[in-house]
Amino acid sequence: MTPPPYVPGHGLLAGRAVVITAAAGAGIGGATARRCLEEGARVLLSDAHERRLAATAAELEKEFGADRVDVLPCDVTSEDQVRALYGRAVERFGRIDVAVNNAGLGGTADLVDMTDEQWDRVLDITLTGTMRCTRAALRLMREQGSGVVVNNASVIGWRAQKGQSHYAAAKAGVMALTRCSALEAADFGVRVNAVSPSLAMHPHLVKVTSEELLEELTRREAFGRYAEPWEVANVIVFLASDYSSYMTGEIVSVSSQHA
């Protein structure tokens, strides 16, 4: 089944200042950056891969204007770099309305053969990195009395898959982090939610996943196809917008998997 037509923007984030991690390239982060710009936002792009980040930023600046696009490399395992990222957003835009925490690292290894280093690396980027970014955003949003955080989880935080103990544990942790921090942030008028995609195809996934596994995962989807990254980005935009004003602490599954 082919994907539906691309949905045009409707100004859902007009004038908002958005920070997006892991926003380089053609994955969910890059698609989210484009969608936010199409919806009228100003966007600070970040990624640990500086060359890809610069290329993505140059493309978006050409299309949407340099006044609406800013860029700063950031490794989410570094507290100093995370603080610098959010400081840059305030310096450039005066405030932060939306933080999209998309950075994560996968991989495949059976637990019996997994090293501490493999476990620690995935947890540090995927879970602790999300915590660092959420914490930095909430500290600024608390002062504003408003804001929205959208984290990127995964259906694998709910569903078992061989070779994914570290990634599944990290994504389940992102879900728990989202729910707990949402209750805290509600006290100062800030919402925290997460998306939980099943299978969104992008070049990095192809590099780290076997063709056989991708075919198997695709067969599990009710529509018989993977999601386009922009289809996940659409849900992120919804959660970032006023259309989801009563939602906090929710994990929204972006999936067509069979029950």
Looking at the annotation, which residues are catalytic?
A: 167
| Strand blocks (E) in the chain | 17-20, 42-45, 69-71, 98-101, 147-152, 190-197, 251-254
∠ CA 7-191-145, nearest 5°, is: 120
The Cα–Cα gap between 113 and 4 comes to: 41
How far apart are the C-alpha atoms of 175 and 195, rounded to whole Å?
9
Cα separation, 101 vs 103, in Å, equals 6
